[in-house]
Amino acid sequence: MKRFSRLSIGMRLALSYLAIFLLAELVFGAGMWLILRKNLYDIADATLEGQAADLQRFLEARKDLSAERLQTEISADYKIDRSQDYVQISDADGNSIYRSQFLEEHPLPPVSLNQLSKPRHQYRRLGRLPFRILSEKMAVDGRIFIVQIGGTLDEEMETLEDFRGYLLMFAPVLLLAASGVGYWLSRKALTPVDALARTARTISGHNLSRRLEPLHTGDELQRLSDTLNEMLTRIETAFLRITEFTADASHELRTPIALIHTEAEMALRRSRDESEYREALRHILLEAERMARLIEELLALARADSGGEALNIHPLDLRPTLRESALKWSQVASLRELQFEEYSGPQPLTVMGDENALRRVIDILLDNAFKYTAPPGKITLSAEQRGGRAIVSVKDTGIGIAAEDQARIFERFYRVDKARSRALGGAGLGLAIAQWIIQLHKGSIAVESEPGNGSVFRVEIPTTKSAVEEYSASQ
Ligand code: ADP
C-alpha cells in the first residue's frame, strides 16, 4: 500500500482502473456464463419433458400389458427410435422394465420413489459425456413407473466453452485498453500540474513578481493556480513592505549617525572653548535621543509584526490614564504658549485594555497635535461613551492634513512634510504604532481634518460589556 501511494497519480489511476475493470469483468463474465448455462439447461430440460410426455402416452396406450409384455414392446419400439437412446424405466420397487443399451453400459444410480415427489433434473457425466437427466414418477392406470430420460449436452457444453473462450480472449484486451486510456486521461489532466510545479520551482525571493501561467480549464486546477497566484501576490506585498521598511529604517538611522559624526568631527578639528564643546555635545545628545526613540519605535513595530508583543489586557477605567497624560501635556502647553483642555465626564469609561499601550496612543496623538499646532492654538483631549464604545478625541487647531494625505498618514514612515516632521523629531512611525495598538483592542482610529483648520483624531474602543463579549467571542 505504501509503495502504491508512492507511485505517480497517473500510474495510480491507471492501476485503479485496471483493478476496477478486472473485478467488473470477473463479475460480468461469471454472471453471463451462469445465465447462459441455465438457459441451455432449460432448453435441454424442456426437450426431456417433451420426451417424458411421449413416454407417458406410450405407457397409457399399453396399460393392460403385463410387465414382461411391456418390456418386449418397449424394446422393439425403441430400437428404431434413436431419440430414446438414454431411457430407463423401472417399476415402483425399482425393478428394471426397460434400459437402453447405453444405460446398460453406463448405469445411472438408482432413485427411490420418495425422492421423486416432483420431477428431478440433474447434470451428470456418463462415460465421459455430459448429460441432463430427468427422473420422474409416472402413474399409469394405478401402476407407478420410475422413468429416467437423458439427453446429451455436448453441443451446449461446446457453446459454453466457446463463450468462455471469447471472454478470456477479450478480457485482457479490454483490460489493457481501459488502463491505457485511464493512464492517458490522467496524464492529460495532470500535465498542467507539472507545468505549475516547474514554474513554482523557479520562483524565489528574487523574482517574486513572477506568476504561474494562468489556466483556463475552469476546473480544480485553475482554482489551484489562481489561489497560488493570489498567495504569491500577498507574499510579494508583504516582502516588499519588509524590504521597504528595512530600507526606510536604515535611511532614518543613517541621518542621526551622520549628524553625530559631523558634529564630533567638527568639534575635534581644532581646539574650542568649553561652551562650544558643550553646544556640540548637546547636539550629539539630541541626535542620540532621537535615534534611541527611533530604535524603540522600530522594535515595537517589529514585535507587532512577529506577534511577539503580548498586551496585558484587562478591564480598565480610561479616565485616570487620560488625566495623567493631560497633566503632563498641560505643562508642555504652558511652555509652548498653547491652550490645552481635557474633558472626560463623571461616568467611568471602562474598556478591556492595556494601560501602558493606551497611554502610548494618547501620547502619540497629543505629541502630534502639539507638534503641528503653532501658538496661540488650542488642543483638546476629550472622552465620552456612545453606543457601547469609548470615544477618545484629540483635537487641534493646527496646520491640518490634506485629504489625499489623510489615508496615508497611518502608513509606516509616511510624513506629509518630511523635513518639518524630522525637525520636530518624528520619523513617521507614531500613527502606525497607534493604529496597531488600537487594532489589538478591537477598536478603530480615524482622522478628520482640513488644511489650515486643524485636525481631530478619534479613537473608538468597545466598552466593557461589549468588549468582554467581543473578546470572549474571539478567544
Ligand atoms: P511623525 O513622527 O512624523 O509625527 P506620525 O506617524 O505620528 O509620524 O504622523 C505621520 C504624519 O502625519 C506626520 O508626519 C504629519 O505629517 C501628519 N500628522 C500627524 N498628526 C498630525 C496633526 N495633528 N496635524 C497635522 N499633521 C499631522
CATH of residue 295's domain is 1.10.287.130
Asked whether residue 141 falls in the same domain as residue 76, the answer is yes
pLDDT of 81 reads 60
The DSSP symbol for 463 reads B
Long-range contact pairs involving 68-72 (C-beta distance under 8 Å, separation at least 24): 70/97, 70/98, 71/97, 71/98
Residue 195 lies in a domain: no
What pLDDT is stored for residue 116 in this prediction? 85
Do 296 and 361 lie in one domain? The reply is no
- Ligand 1 proximity of 394 Cβ (cutoff 6 Å): no
pLDDT(67) > 70? yes
Q: Are 295 and 354 in a shared domain?
A: no
The residue among 363, 367, 383 whose CA lies nearest residue 460 is 383
Q: If you take atom 13 of ligand 1, which residue's CA is the nearest one? A: 415
* Confidence at residue 356, expressed as pLDDT on a 0 to 100 scale: 92
Q: What is the mean pLDDT of the chain?
A: 88
Q: Are residues 366 and 443 in the same domain?
A: yes
- Residue 322 sits in the same domain as residue 466: yes
Residue bearing the CA closest to ligand 1, atom 18: 368
CA distance 348 to 361: 19
Looking at ligand 1, which residue's alpha carbon is closest to its atom 21?
368
Residue 382: inside a domain: yes
Whether residue 83 has pLDDT greater than 70: no
Cβ–Cβ < 8 Å for 388, 405: no
- pLDDT tens digit sequence for 333-365: 999 999 999 998 888 899 999 999 999 999 999
Strand bridging mode 96-99 / 143-152 = unpaired
Q: Which of 111, 131, 160 is the last residue before a domain boundary?
A: 160
| C-beta separation of 299 from 257 below 8 A | no
Report the pLDDT value the prediction gives residue 472, as an integer from 0 to 100. 56
- Calculate the alpha carbon distances from 122 to 70, 137, 151, 157, 187 in Å: 27, 15, 11, 15, 54
Q: What is the pLDDT of residue 59?
A: 87
| Residue 466 clears pLDDT 60, i.e. is over it | no
Give the pLDDT confidence of 297-317 residue by residue, as tens digits: 888 888 887 776 778 899 999
**Are 287 and 416 members of one domain?**
no
Q: What is the pLDDT of residue 1?
A: 61
More confident residue, 10 or 285: 285
Residue with cell 438457459: 39
The CA 409 to ligand 1 mean position distance, Å, reads: 7
**Phi then psi dihedrals of residue 345, to 5 deg:** 45, 170
Q: How many domains does the chain have?
A: 3
Write down the pLDDT at residue 219.
83
Distance of CA 209 to the CA centre of its chain: 26
Q: Which of 128, 160, 192 is the last residue before a domain boundary?
A: 160
**Residue 398 alpha carbon, nearest atom of ligand 1:** 24
Cell of 153: 449436452
Shared domain check, 326 and 277: no
| pLDDT value, residue 70 | 80
pLDDT at 99 over 90: no
What is the pLDDT confidence band of residue 469, given thresholds at 50, 70 and 90? low
Protein residue closest via CA to atom 8 of ligand 1: 428
**Model pLDDT, residue 132:** 93
CA 428 / ligand 1 centre spacing (Å): 7
Q: Is 396 in the pocket of ligand 1 (CB under 6 A)?
A: yes
CATH number at residue 327: 3.30.565.10
Per-residue pLDDT at 141: 84
- Whether 214 is in a domain gets the answer no
Q: Give the phi and the psi of residue 443 in degrees, each rounded to 5.
A: -115, -165
Q: What is the pLDDT confidence band of residue 410, given thresholds at 50, 70 and 90?
A: very high
Indicate whether 12 and 154 sit together in one domain: yes
What pLDDT, in 10s, does the model give residues 239-284? Answer: 988 888 888 889 888 888 999 999 999 999 988 899 999 999 999 9
What is the pLDDT averaged over residues 136-143? 88
Please report whether residue 177 resides in a domain. Answer: no
The pTM (predicted TM-score) of the whole model is: 0.60
Does the pLDDT of residue 101 top 80, yes or no? yes
Q: Are residues 67 and 122 in the same domain?
A: yes
In a domain, 197, yes or no: no
**How many CB atoms neighbour CB 17 within 10 A?**
19
List all residues 6 or more positions away from 180 whose beta carbon is below 8 Å from its beta carbon. Answer: 14
Residue nearest to atom 23 of ligand 1 (CA): 369
Q: Do 421 and 318 fall into the same domain?
A: yes
Hey, which of 409, 418, 420, 459 would you mutate to test ligand 1's pocket, going by the most ligand atoms within 8 Å of its Cβ? Answer: 409
**Ligand 1 within 6 A of 415 CB?**
yes
For residue 370 the three cell numbers come to 502639539
> Who wins on pLDDT, 276 or 76?
276
Task: Calculate helix-pair angle for 274-306, 220-269, nearest 10 degrees.
Answer: 170
Our answer on whether the CB atom of 368 is closer than 6 Å to any ligand 1 atom is yes
Residue 335 lies in a domain: yes
Residue 193 lies in a domain: no
The closest of 100, 110, 112, 109 to 137, measured between CA atoms, is 112
CA of 263 to the centre of ligand 1 (A): 28
Cβ 373 vs Cβ 465: under 8 Å: no
Q: Tell me which DSSP letter residue 409 carries.
A: T
pLDDT at residue 187 greater than cutoff 80? yes
Domain boundary among the residues 245, 269, 304 is at 304
Q: Are 378 and 338 spatial neighbours (Cβ–Cβ below 8 Å)?
A: yes
* CB-CB contact of 353 with 319 (8 Å): no
Buried b (16+ CB within 10 A) or exposed e, 162-189: ebeeebeeebeeebeebbeebbeebbeb
Assigned C-alpha cell, 387: 453606543
413 and 362 in one domain? yes
Q: How confident is the model at residue 323 (pLDDT cuts 50, 70, 90)?
A: very high
What is the band of 473 on the pLDDT scale with cuts at 50, 70, 90? low
Say how far apart CA 16 and CA 11 lie, in whole Å: 9
Mutational pocket test of ligand 1: of 421, 422, 436, 455, the residue with most ligand atoms within 8 Å of the beta carbon: 421
The predicted pLDDT at position 30 comes to 94
Top mutation candidate among 415, 448, 457 for ligand 1, by most atoms within 8 Å of CB: 415
Are 459 and 442 within 8 A, CB to CB?
no
What is the span of the domain harbouring residue 279? Answer: 220-304
> CA-to-CA distance for 309 and 291, rounded, in angstroms?
21
Is 402 in a helix, a strand, or coil? coil
**Is 179 within the bounds of a domain?**
no
> Cβ(98)–Cβ(85) under 8 Å?
no
What CATH code is carried by the domain that includes residue 75?
3.30.450.20
Q: Are residues 318 and 467 in the same domain?
A: yes
